[in-house]
């Protein structure tokens, strides 16, 4: 029991992430339509945000302040003692993504083209969602919520590696890690004497990045 208590937050986060995936799949249906899945994800996100707000409202002020700081994301409480399970989960997940990189690339051309090439789209998407949920749960349990990185970095890396013989998943993992190191440095030096939550900086950078992407798309169209 004592050994389990060390990983109880990660286990609980994984259970919660699996529950959210089940809700999204149930709302999106078995068709695998990306737009329906995105809308279902947004609806599920607002639902869990409301539940989190309720927990904050009913919590003790000191506990609520600690929870708010955790939801903003920070490396301040990360310890070497807890990094072992994180490395194991990330390595296993990265190997799985690397093993299924070709079927995942075929899905970029559309579900129908992937099915024509023999890819079980529904099963592959479900497996990748579960694996992504496991990665997210372990990382959030240790560092809190750090938004926009999983959306911004792959978008940038995909443009950087066009024409290069580089595995996209490995490149995203490396660039994402380097990016987070420098964001952590920025969080430590922006405000003297205190460390800013990393999630605040990534949210500011991510929102500015996607606004720029939207402006460029409007200009092209």
Q: Which CATH class is domain 1-145?
A: mainly alpha
pLDDT at 1: 42
pLDDT at 179: 92
Three-point CA angle 136, 105, 110, nearest 5°: 100
Q: What is the pTM of this model?
A: 0.73
Provide block-wise average pLDDT over 10 residues at a time, the chain (221 residues). 58 83 78 72 86 85 79 78 81 86 83 84 84 84 83 85 74 88 88 81 87 82 69
Q: Sign (positive/negative) of CA torsion 99, 102, 105, 110?
A: negative
pLDDT at 18: 84
Q: Where are the domains of the chain?
A: 1-145, 146-221
User: Phi and psi (nearest 5°) for 193?
Assistant: 90, -15
User: Phi and psi (nearest 5°) for 6?
Assistant: -65, -30
Number of neighbouring beta carbons within 10 Å of residue 41: 16
């Amino acid at each position: 029991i004592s050994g389990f208590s060390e990983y109880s937050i990660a286990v609980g986060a994984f259970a919660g992430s699996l529950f959210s995936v089940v809700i999204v799949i149930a709302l999106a249906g078995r068709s695998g339509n990306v737009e329906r899945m995105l809308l279902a994800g947004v609806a599920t996100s607002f639902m869990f945000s409301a539940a989190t707000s309720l927990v904050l409202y009913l919590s003790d002020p000191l506990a609520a302040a600690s929870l708010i700081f955790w939801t903003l994301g920070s490396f301040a409480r990360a310890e070497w003692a807890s990094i072992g399970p994180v490395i194991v989960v990330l390595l296993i997940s990265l190997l799985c993504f690397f093993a299924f990189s070709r079927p995942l690339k075929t899905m970029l051309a559309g579900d129908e083209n992937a099915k024509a090439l023999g890819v079980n789209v529904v099963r592959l998407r479900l497996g990748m969602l579960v694996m992504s949920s496991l990665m997210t749960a372990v990382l959030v349990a240790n560092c809190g919520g750090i938004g926009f990185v999983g959306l911004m970095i792959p978008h940038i890396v995909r443009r950087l590696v066009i024409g290069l013989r580089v595995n996209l998943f490995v490149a995203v993992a490396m660039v994402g890690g380097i990016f987070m190191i420098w964001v952590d440095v920025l969080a430590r030096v922006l405000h003297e004497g205190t460390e800013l939550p990393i999630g605040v900086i990534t949210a500011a950078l991510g929102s500015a990045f996607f606004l720029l992407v939207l402006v460029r798309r409007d200009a092209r169209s």
